[in-house]
Structure 1
Amino acid sequence: MKVMVMVKASASSEAGKMPSEALLTAMGEFNAQLVDAGVMESGEGLKPSSEGYRVHFNGSERTVSQGPFAATNELVAGFWVWNVNSMEEALEWVKKCPNPMEEASDIEIRALYGMEDFADADPSGEIAAQEDELRQTLEMQKSSVRNYLFFAGRCQEALDFYTQHLGAKVEFKMHFNESPEPMPADMLQKGFENKIMHAAFKVGDVTILASDGCNDTDTFSGFSLALTVPNEPQAHRVFNALAQDGKVVMPLAKVFWSPLYGQVTDKFGVAWMIMLPDA
C-alpha cells in the first residue's frame, strides 16, 4: 500500500528557519534507510506558506488568496510517499524518524487511494484502464534514449577520429578481455579479445555509446537505440511490444551492467537495447 507521510508545519518552519546541519544529517541518514529498504518513492520539503497561494472553488468561481495562512498545525512542511505492506509498518518507520523540527512537531500518515477503491463507480474498468495508461505515460516520460554505434572492429579508430576532429571526450571504455564475466563461447571473432566491448563518448552535449561488436564482417548499416526505462514492468512491456513481428536478439536478463537488459529489432528494422539503470 502507498501512504503519504506528512510533516506538519511549525512556528520555525513557517518562519523560514532552516534546519541545523545535525538535523539535515540525521534526516539524510533516515532517508537512506528508507531507500535501502525499498520503502521510499519520493520526498520533498515545502517552503513556508507565506510563499504559497490558495484557490477557493465555489461552482464556477475561483478566488485566490496569498499566504501566509493561519492554523500552523494544519499546514504541511514536507512529505514522503512510501510503499509499505501495512499502516503498522509505516508507523514503525515514523517512530524511527528524527524529530523533523527543532521544537515539538507532528507527523501524519494517510493511506493513498488506489483505483480498486473506486470499483463501484467504475464497473466496466474503463476509467481504471485510462489511469493505467496515464501512469505508463508518466513512467515513460522518465525514460532516456541514446544512440549505440557498432564499428566492426574500428571503434578505437573512430574514437580517435572523433576526438581529433569533433573534440569528443571519451568518458568510459572497456575491452572484451576486461569484462567481469567471461564471454560466451564462439561469440567473439578470433583476435577481438582486445577490442572495445563498450565505450561512451560525448560530442557537444550528447553522449553516444559505441562498441566494436563481435566481428569485422558486419557492415555498418545503422545503429541501435539504447532505451533506459525506470522499472522492470515497463522494461518487459516495451520489450514485448517491440518484439511483436520483430526479432529478439537477446532476451531480457540480468547482466553485470544492468539489473535487466535485452536486445530486440522491431518490425521496422530498428535495433533497440532495453535496460534498467544500474542501481
Structure 2
Amino acid sequence: MRVMVIVKASPSSEAGELPSTQLLEAMGNFNEQLVKAGIMKSGDGLKPSSTGVRVRFRGDERIVTDGPFVETSEVIAGYWVWEVASMDEAVQWAKRCPNPMKEESDIEIRPFFEMDDFAANDPDGKVAAHEDRLRTSVAMQDSTLAPYLFFAGRCDEAIEFYKHALGATVAMLMRFNESPDPVPKGMLADGFETKVMHATVHIGKLTVMCSDGCDDKSTFDGFRLALSLPLEDDCKRVFDSLAQDGKIDMPLSKTFWSPLYGMVTDKFGVGWMVMVPGDNS
C-alpha cells in the first residue's frame, strides 16, 4: 500500500529556519535506509507557507489568498511517499525518523486511495483505464529512448568509423570477458569472448547503445537513424562520410520538409536519414 507521510509545520519551520547540519545528516541517513529498504518513492521539504498561496473554491468563484497561514497544524512542512505492507509498518518506520523540528512536532500518515476503492462508482472500468493511461503518460515524461545496434562482431570497427565520420565519443565499453557475471555456456559464438558486450556512444545529443551481439547473424532492417545538422555544409560532409564504402539510397536534395535531405546506408548496414531541419521539423 502507498502512504503519504506528512511532516506538519512548526513555528520554526514557518519562520523559515533551516535545519541544522546535524539534522540534515540524520535525515539523509534515514532517507538512505528508506531507499535501501525499497520503502521511499519520493519526498521533499516545503518552504514556509509565507511563500505559498491558497485557492478557495466557492461555486464558480476562485479566491486566491497569499500566505502565511496562521494555523501551523493545517500547514505541511514536508512529505514522503512510501510503499509499505501495512499501516503498522509505516508507523514503525515513522518512529525511527529523527525529530524533523527543533521543537515538538507531528508526522501524519495517510493511505492513498486506490482505484479499487472506487469500483462501485466505476462499474465499467472506464475511469480506472483512464487513470492507468495517465500514470503511463506521467512515467514516460521522464523516460529516455535510445537505439541499440548489434554489429555482428564488427562493433569495434563501427565505433572507430563513427568517431571519424560523426565525432562519436565512447562513454563506456565492456567486453564479454570483462562481465562481472559469467556469460552462460553456449551463448557466444566461437571467438566472441573478447567482443563488445555493451557500449554507450554519444553522437551529438543522441545516445546510441551498441554491442557485437552473440554471433554474426545480426542485420539492420526496418528502421533508419535520423540525423539533423543545422548547416548544409556539415550535412554534406557527414553524408559523404557515412557513404564511404556504403550505399547512397537517396542523394542529398531539397524536399518540401527540408532544405537538404538524403538517405544512406553505411558499410555496416545501418540506414541513416541525414538532413538540415526545415521550418516544421
Indicate whether the TM-score tops 0.5: yes
* TM-score calculated relative to the size of structure 1: 0.73
Matches within 5 A, 1:160-239: 160-221=160-221
Q: Which runs of 5+ in 2 are unaligned?
A: 226-281
Aligned match of 1:70: 70
Identical residues among aligned pairs (%): 60
Aligned to 1:82: 82
SS across alignment from 2:100? coil
Match of 1:6 in 2: 6
Matched to 2:42, the amino acid is: S
Structure 1 pair 112–185 and aligned structure 2 pair: CA distance change class (3 A)? closer
Aligned-pair CA distance for 1:186 = 4.4
Distance 2:170 2:27 in 1: 37
Deviations 1:66-101 (A, max 9, x none): 111111232000001112222222111111100001
For residue 98 of structure 2, what is the amino acid of its counterpart?
P
Query: Offset of 1:25 from its aligned partner?
Result: 0.7
The alpha-carbon deviation at position 141 of structure 1 amounts to 3.4
Rg (Cα) greater in structure: 2
**1:199 and 1:216 mapped to 2: Cα distance?**
17
Q: Is the contact between residue 177 and residue 194 of structure 1 (CA under 8 Å) also seen in structure 2?
A: yes
Shift of 1:206: 2.2
TM-score using structure 2 length: 0.73
Distance 1:186 1:110 in 2: 52
Deviations along 1:188-209, one digit per CA (max 9) or x if unpaired, are 3332222111111112232211
Distance across 1 between alignment mates of 2:119 and 2:19: 43
Q: CA deviation at 1:181?
A: 3.6
CA distance in structure 1 between the partners assigned to 2:178 and 2:156 by the alignment: 15
* C-alpha separation in 2, matches of 1:42 and 1:212: 38
Residue 232 of structure 1 corresponds to none
What's the counterpart of residue 253 of structure 1?
A: none
Query: Runs of 5+ in structure 1 lacking a partner?
Result: 226-279
Cα shift readout 1:102-139 (whole Å, capped 9, x = no counterpart): 22211111122222222332233332232233223333
Moved more, 23-32 or 109-118: 109-118
Distance in 1 between residues matched to 2:111 and 2:217, nearest whole Å: 59
CA separation of 1:121 and 1:187: change in aligned 2, threshold 3 A: closer
Structure 1 letter corresponding to 2:192:
F
Provide the C-alpha distance between the structure 2 equivalents of 1:95 and 1:184, rounded to a whole number of angstroms. Answer: 46
1:192 and 1:96 map into 2 onto residues whose CA distance is 51
Query: Is the Cα–Cα contact under 8 Å of residues 149 and 223 in structure 1 kept in the other structure?
Result: no
Secondary structure at 1:78's aligned position in 2?
strand
**Residue type at the aligned position of 2:171:** E
Could you say what the CA RMSD is over the residues aligned between the two structures, in angstroms?
2.3
Corresponding pairs, count: 225
8 Å Cα contact 2:150-2:218 kept in structure 1: no
Q: Is the 8 A contact 1:188 1:215 kept in 2?
A: yes
Q: Which amino acid aligns with 2:208?
A: I
Further displaced range: 35-44 or 20-29: 35-44
Q: Secondary structure at the match of 1:197?
A: strand
Q: Per-residue deviation at 1:37?
A: 1.7
2:24 matched residue in structure 1: 24
Instruction: Tell me, in whole angstroms, the C-alpha distance in 2 between the residues paired with 1:224 and 1:35.
Output: 40
- Do structure 1's residue 40 and structure 2's residue 40 form an aligned pair? yes
Query: Is contact 1:147-1:223 (8 Å) kept?
Result: no
